[in-house]
Structure 1
């Protein structure tokens, strides 16, 4: 499934934890890992060659250490240190190297010389045409690969369908089970759900979304193990609750979706999940040509 994996790193402890998962994925698929460090000139108050050189030298040490760890696992690497704005450099590198997957921690170090922060990760996942796997760096080591249970929340949007197709690919490659979920955010709809007619409308819309999602998964060759509609005070809480209740190992979501009466997930919900999910989150952006 994966031939080329990109791992941007700032050398932080969080990045080190995430890199363990990268190596697990690469070893399973025989993938090459591109280890990229981006030295951001904007972090130097007065652009001076010696300070920029110091950033690059530090970056060289980061990628060299990562390559050494990969070598011990039998994983092939390509190392690169570049100067520029981190998020755009990462996105451009992924596109130019035909990368299949970008893997990033949800946050990194802070300070003058530490630049791979949460804001960078969020910018990458909003703009990357390549799927982005984000992992909280405070993971306690319970995240394993291959995954056993994969969750794909959906709102019926084209972007969500792209995410379901990706989730189906992951379940096939890892021999996992696929769960489909749509969550109705009662509070945000601003309607009186005590009406039987209104409840029926919500149920009908949610069932239609799940039917479409199931069709997408089956076309991709995967029979979903579960198709669930949940009602709750918020979308992200419903997804997090489902993750906990069903021992989900990976959640796959689109980076944006529809809005309106019966369209309610993705977008800001995805960003919230990236920050708070206890498990890896794989984000999929609708290709630019289709956006």
Structure 2
């Protein structure tokens, strides 16, 4: 399923904590892992050593990728490593296109910290522009990382993004033998208890049933039987996190339909809240421009 996996790293502790997870995915799918470090040319990294101008960041990058590549080699995983100069997000996406990368795995934040991730970070830009799916891993999580996943969650809300996520989720679940969980949350957090009671019998519940029925039908049409589905009411982010904990979910898959959608997520929407607090990796799937 995934033949070429890209692991961008800046050598920071958050990035290093994600390396083992990337190697597990590569091993499971017998994939080649590409280890990339981008020497950020927006920084003044030049200094003079023994009379020669040396790019300190590039030399540091060589050390970073060589150490990571050795860990991959020790596990018997095919590896390609490279250091490039440029803007990190642009270089990562260009590399993924050049080498037909099937999956990118990276931390939610690196040296710059989580706050920068939420608005304008390297990770956000990669999610917005890469055609390959991107798995983001919160290095500050409490739970251990598991792959191949045993329980996989796709939140279904009837959007185009959710359709993309479901398609990818079905493929991942079939490849790993995981149980596919479908969850639709009827957002009622801003309504009073009486209104919520009425809505449970009203049009929101009817729409929720339709969305879940269509998602389940899509999964079963792929000869895929291991499906669990649930409809809940309340705050979507909270209900999704609760479902993750109660059902031992290993991986969540969400869809995004380009910069507009993800920019909205970054301004405090459901997906931003999930990314901030998710105890598990989250895969982002974006529709390619060629198919839009």
> Aligned residue for 2:88?
86
| Equivalent position to 1:107, from 102, 106, 109 | 109
> Aligned residue for 2:22?
22
Change (3 A) 1:25 1:269: same
Q: Is the 8 A contact 2:141 2:278 kept in 1?
A: no
**Matches of 2:225 and 2:257, distance apart in 1:** 25
Change (3 A) 1:275 1:213: same
Matched, 1:278 2:279: yes
Q: Is the 8 A contact 2:188 2:196 kept in 1?
A: no
Q: Is the 8 A contact 2:133 2:284 kept in 1?
A: yes
Change (3 A) 1:256 1:245: farther
> Aligned residue for 2:39?
39
**Matches of 1:158 and 1:52, distance apart in 2:** 48
**What secondary structure is seen at the aligned counterpart in 2 of 1:193?**
helix
The Cα of 1:290 is off from its aligned counterpart by 3.9
Change (3 A) 1:4 1:205: same
Paired residue total: 278
TM-score (norm 1): 0.87
**1:162-241 correspondence runs (5 A):** 162-187=164-189, 193-194=195-196, 196=198, 199-232=201-234, 234-241=235-242
Q: Is the 8 A contact 1:35 1:79 kept in 2?
A: yes
The Cα of 1:217 is off from its aligned counterpart by 1.5
Q: Is the 8 A contact 1:3 1:32 kept in 2?
A: yes
Q: Is the 8 A contact 1:256 1:270 kept in 2?
A: no
Q: More strand per residue: 1 or 2?
A: 2
> Aligned residue for 2:5?
5
The Cα of 1:141 is off from its aligned counterpart by 6.4
Change (3 A) 1:63 1:241: same
**Matches of 2:206 and 2:101, distance apart in 1:** 40
The Cα of 1:121 is off from its aligned counterpart by 0.9
Change (3 A) 1:199 1:279: same
**What secondary structure is seen at the aligned counterpart in 2 of 1:43?**
coil
The Cα of 1:218 is off from its aligned counterpart by 2.0
Query: Residue deviations 1:124-157, cap 9 Å, x none?
Result: 1122211001111134562121110000001111
**Matches of 2:196 and 2:240, distance apart in 1:** 23
Moved over 6 A (4+): 189-192
**Matches of 2:31 and 2:78, distance apart in 1:** 7
